[in-house]
A and B are shown apart, each in its own frame.
Chain A
């Protein structure tokens, strides 16, 4: 079974600074997807970024980028120029190539310090 581990229950960063959230996973598959979702206090899950395992290039979405290390099974999220609206729970998630199930990590609560 696949597992996703987020070892940082809480993180904080000064506004406008950069923060990196860690995620490791375990799988025996070679093709899969990795995701970062954001859950603000409103509780809606919002897709931040997605990475396909067969792509070597790290995914980026504006201020959000990932460092995908397939051999190390590591998938960290970097948030640049942090904004107050970035405050939320961030969940790392895995799905197999058929994209049928999402396995979530336990989440990292990110606080932005004004």
Chain B
């Protein structure tokens, strides 16, 4: 149980393109989803937290107009990197948890985004 599916696993696109990444909880209701960014050989940095039906809460330094997060249902959250540039290239990972709040986060497989 507690499977989180993230799609696509890898994206290569040209600078200026907008890219959408999907995060789905397959066998539980994800009341809260999290989006992380991981640079090579570094730790995960939280970008934003989203609760179903509410606006995402962004961490300091993360541009909300650049990284659009939508959590429209209890099983799906999307991250859209708008007008992506080479500096946006990174590994993006989502996680999800259900209620109550003491439930652990379950992670997707991640998406490697490469902007040419």
Q: A residues bordering B, Cβ < 8 Å?
A: 33, 35, 37, 42-47, 50, 52, 91, 97-107
Chain B residue contacts of A43, Cβ below 8 A: 91, 93, 109-110, 112
Give Cα A107–Cα B41 distance, bound, in whole angstroms: 9
Q: Is the CB of B43 within 8 A of A47?
A: no
Q: Sample 6 A-B pairs with CB under 8 A, ordered by A number.
A: A44-B110, A45-B107, A91-B44, A99-B104, A99-B105, A101-B46
Name the residue on A nearest B91 (C-beta). A43
CB distance from A42 to the nearest CB of B (A): 7
Name the residue on B nearest A4 (C-beta). B43
Q: Is the CB of A44 within 8 A of B107?
A: yes
> Is the C-beta of B54 less than 8 angstroms from some C-beta in chain A?
no
Q: Is the CB of A105 within 8 A of B93?
A: no
Of A42, A102, A105, the contact of B34 (CB 8 Å cutoff): A102
Chain B residue contacts of A44, Cβ below 8 A: 107-110
Chain B residue contacts of A91, Cβ below 8 A: 43-44
Q: Is the CB of A106 within 8 A of B43?
A: yes
CB distance from A59 to the nearest CB of B (A): 12
Give Cα A98–Cα B44 distance, bound, in whole angstroms: 20
Q: Is the CB of B109 within 8 A of A99?
A: no
Give Cα A50–Cα B104 distance, bound, in whole angstroms: 8
Q: Is the CB of A102 within 8 A of B43?
A: no
Given A42-B109, A43-B110, A44-B107; A99-B43 close (CB under 8 Å): no
